[in-house]
Copies of this chain bind each other. A is one copy, B any other.
Amino acid sequence: MEQEYSITEEINHYLDILFPITRSLTGKGNRETLRVIQEIIPLKIKEVPSGTKVYDWIVPDEWNIKGAWIKDRSGSTLVDMANCNLHVVSYSEPVKMIMDWDQLRPKLNWIDELPDAVPYRTSYYKRDWGFCVTKDQYDAIREAGTVEVFIDSEFSQGSLSYGEILIPGKSEKEILISCYICHPSMANDSLSGVILTAFIARSLMSDQPELMHSYRIIFVPETIGAITYCATHEEQIKELVAGLVITTVGGPGKYGYKQSFEKNHDINGIIESVLNEMDIDFITYPFDVYGSDERQYSSQGFRVNVASITRDKYYEYDYYHTSLDNLDYVKAKNISESYDIYRRIIARLDRNLTYDTVQKYCEPMFGKRNLYPSLGGGLLPPEEEMDDLDCMLWLNYFCDGTHSLFGISEAIGATVEQLHRIARILESRGLLKLLL
């Protein structure tokens, strides 16, 4: 797998800049994250006011937090959000009080099996507060008995922020690329996905003269952000050809892909074909109602096939949703390898077009267009190779507006890339027309 040194470097640079920011469903950290992404691509940042009704949901109040700590009676700090922004349950209400152990205990989250980890917890839709701590911190708090607890958070009538970039290609048929920006300092889930999405967007912009599909690329807080986006772009989501949710792409473990809801959809076939060609050993995760924002895009009204290619998939790795999902765990090199894979998959998706024939009765006369050997009567082309002539004839046979190039490639054993190249020649000679 070749990769320009510079991309890995760039990814590393943005991992360092973006990792420390405190993100949530809303708030300044999200805006700051989107502004950093603007250094990479000309992202539009949109704001949807708190209280906006989006289908069955309401955009929540904006939440911002300046700091939070737990101190013992001597004033020494037992837990400080300045050290790790996972210490505070996301969307915690403001608190300042003296509490004894029995009162505080239900507000503490920790993980017995990972004593050094700070777990990640949220309480978005039920007003509450809490702390997430390591096992040592938990023990120290218990020993301290009475402690002072402080959360300097604020709810306000603000807005939910998201980023969007539309990259038009030849066809108005759109592919969605969606990542989520609501996770605070965790590197695989979801920062790796945010950074990879930004670089994919940049690469698509440079591919643009050759792009066949259009791309709708969004950076949204998970669930409520995706729902907000759907509610404000209902017609566009309905028309999507397919989509990718990019997340957890930087771990040290095994590649995997979560299938879209239709097992036999081209997007799944294309992902498998690319991973197999690259000789990558991967885990197949069947479609599941647990997951990320594909849950929204796959709902009854949309039914868009959306898949994810992952490296250490969310749910599946030990450090998932903990402070150990950090920059020791996630490496820029892993992300840049995933970038290569996504690039190839998207390139194939992009070329997976559907053509119709112009001349639907009988074969066109290839000869007069210099598309056919002029001296007839010879034998078949050698069987070992699927040569261009074969592809041309098969395309001419199959293209009736119902077969995708990937479908044809599976039927005859040619690659989508070869078929696409020849289909464009036939299109330029007036024999095929692209369904746009």
Task: Point out residues on A near B: beta carbons under 8 Å.
Answer: 55-57, 89-90, 119-126, 128, 223, 226-227, 230-231, 234, 261, 289-290, 295-296, 298-302, 315, 320-321, 357, 359-365, 367-368, 374-380, 390, 393-394, 396-397, 399-400
Interchain residue pairs with CB less than 8 A apart (12): A122-B376, A125-B365, A125-B367, A230-B362, A234-B361, A289-B394, A299-B362, A300-B357, A300-B360, A301-B362, A321-B378, A321-B379
A364/B301 in contact, CB under 8 A: no
List B contacts of A368 (CB < 8 A). 125
For A377, the chain B residues whose CB sits under 8 A away are 90, 119-122, 321
**Given the contacts A227-B363, A394-B289, A376 and B124 also touching, CB distance less than 8 Å:** yes
In the bound complex, do residue B227 and residue A362 qualify as a contact, i.e. CB atoms below 8 Å apart? Answer: yes
Contacts of A362 in B (CB 8 A): 55-57, 226-227, 230-231, 296, 299, 301-302
Residue contact B295 to A363, C-beta cutoff 8 Å: yes
Q: How far is the CB of A84 from chain B (nearest CB, A)?
A: 15
Q: Is the CB of B300 within 8 A of A400?
A: yes
A230 to B123, CA, bound (A): 60
> How many protomers of this protein does the assembly include?
3
- The verdict on A397 contacting B289 (CB below 8 Å), with A230-B361, A362-B56, A367-B126 known, is yes
Given contacts A56-B362, A290-B380, A375-B121, A298 and B230 within 8 Å (CB-CB): no
A298/B126 in contact, CB under 8 A = no
Chain B positions within 8 Å of A296 at CB level: 362-363
Q: Which residues of B contact A90 (CB under 8 A)?
A: 377
CA of A90 to CA of B376, assembled, Å: 10
Instruction: Contacts A55-B362, A379-B315 given; indicate if A397 touches B299 (C-beta within 8 A).
Output: yes
Contacts of A374 in B (CB 8 A): 123, 125-126, 128
Query: 8 closest Cβ contacts across the A-B interface?
Result: A301-B360, A289-B393, A301-B361, A300-B360, A300-B400, A122-B376, A126-B374, A56-B364
What separation, in Å, do the CA atoms of A302 and B375 have in the docked complex?
28
A55 to B364, alpha carbons, bound, how many Å? 8
Alpha-carbon distance A142/B323, docked complex (angstroms): 85
Q: Which residues of B contact A123 (CB under 8 A)?
A: 374-376
Closest to A109 in B: B375
A121-B375, A380-B290 known; A302 vs B227 contact (CB < 8 Å): no
Known pairs A56-B362, A290-B380, A299-B362 / 16 extra A-B pairs, C-beta < 8 Å? A55-B359, A56-B363, A121-B377, A121-B378, A122-B377, A125-B365, A126-B375, A223-B363, A289-B393, A289-B394, A295-B363, A296-B363, A298-B397, A299-B360, A299-B361, A300-B360
Q: How far is the CA of A370 from the CA of B378 in the complex (A)?
A: 63
Taken together as a complex, chains A and B put the C-alpha atoms of A119 and B126 apart, in Å, by 77
A399: B residues at CB distance < 8 A: 300
